[in-house]
Structure 1
């Protein structure tokens, strides 16, 4: 037998040996089980209806404006509490303002429909804007706690709220505010309830 044949036979024998060894590794019984799992996060979807709560002109000291709005939880998770972040910009028509127009706009929060003449909390826009988020949260947790109970704003529900704006007549000269306007922005921020064992 020549060298080529010997080498060819050696390679074939080695290949056969390897295939037998490889085949031998799968000679035992086996089984496979597969687990497919899903984690789907819920949603917080807080909205206010109507988006424009108030739009009024030609107001004068002593005027009051009662408005209602709904906070709507359109998400799949309950909302524990809601905080209002307040901001506003004053347009000084004559450029003569010494004071802040926001200090003269009082906000009377009224949650009880049967007692619309009794505010549960009264403050000015200037004070509301200057409050820390934690102070606003504490105030609204107290107020909404009475209205909502321990459940908060349940997913798929809404709450009707009333607020009265008042151009406070302080009995002093307020002529500097004639012709002025104030653009109010309220951002309502809802927070989830505590995590739980699921």
Structure 2
């Protein structure tokens, strides 16, 4: 091997060795820090009390029934609205109904007393009827908001704003009527209607925290 070639290989080997030594002994300052976070979701909890709003028997056309119940926000999050969904099952004992029994049971009003501060029993006009003058049959196609203040201007004087804040409740007053239609309604004798109102609470809009 020629001398120049041998010298070149020797220099390359020495440089590589120095590089390895330098890489193994190079030192520098360092430090670390940590940041943690925790996300805990709130609870949306809605209940009705009592859970059985009405339970009557021995009804006849023309009978009117007024009942009260409460919607309670048992959770930690405010509720923006509460949709009411209506369903029912009719027990046609005689099997002779010419039309749906639900067409003969009318809701004269469902009033949210807390939104207006007035009891409709003692007033001759409606302040905040969530439901007003409609049959259970027609109500199946509606989803009214039980905690909306329909007369928002009235909150200046009395009553609450729409929605249901955490830890609060709204008093509801409802009037049912077995409608007397002036015709033969014998086909509904001994029949029963089992009503289910499903209340669905919805959260308020997201916000910066």
RMSD value over aligned CA atoms? 2.3
The secondary structure found in structure 2 opposite 1:127 is helix
The secondary structure found in structure 2 opposite 1:190 is strand
- Specify every segment of 5 or more residues in structure 2 that has no aligned partner in the other structure, as ranges: 1-18
TM superposition score normalised by structure 2: 0.75
Cα distance in 2 for residues equivalent to 1:144 and 1:55: 31
Measure how far apart 1:148 and its partner are.
3.4
Matches within 5 A, 1:47-196: 47-107=47-107, 108-112=109-113, 113-116=118-121, 118=124, 120=129, 121-131=132-142, 133=143, 136-137=144-145, 141=148, 143=150, 148-150=160-162, 152-196=163-207
- Specify every segment of 5 or more residues in structure 1 that has no aligned partner in the other structure, as ranges: 1-16
Measure how far apart 1:195 and its partner are.
1.4
Measure how far apart 1:18 and its partner are.
6.8
Cα distance in 2 for residues equivalent to 1:88 and 1:141: 24
**CA 1:154–1:19 in 2, change beyond 3 Å: closer, same or farther?**
farther
Cα distance in 2 for residues equivalent to 1:184 and 1:19: 86
TM superposition score normalised by structure 1: 0.79
**CA 1:22–1:65 in 2, change beyond 3 Å: closer, same or farther?**
farther
Cα distance in 2 for residues equivalent to 1:171 and 1:58: 19
Counterpart contact for 2:149–2:161, Cα < 8 Å: no
Measure how far apart 1:130 and its partner are.
2.3
Structure 2 match to 1:4: none
Counterpart contact for 2:149–2:160, Cα < 8 Å: no
**CA 1:29–1:184 in 2, change beyond 3 Å: closer, same or farther?**
same
The secondary structure found in structure 1 opposite 2:102 is helix
Counterpart contact for 1:109–1:122, Cα < 8 Å: no
Counterpart contact for 1:65–1:166, Cα < 8 Å: yes
Cα distance in 2 for residues equivalent to 1:114 and 1:175: 35
Alignment size in residue pairs: 175
Cα distance in 1 for residues equivalent to 2:21 and 2:98: 95
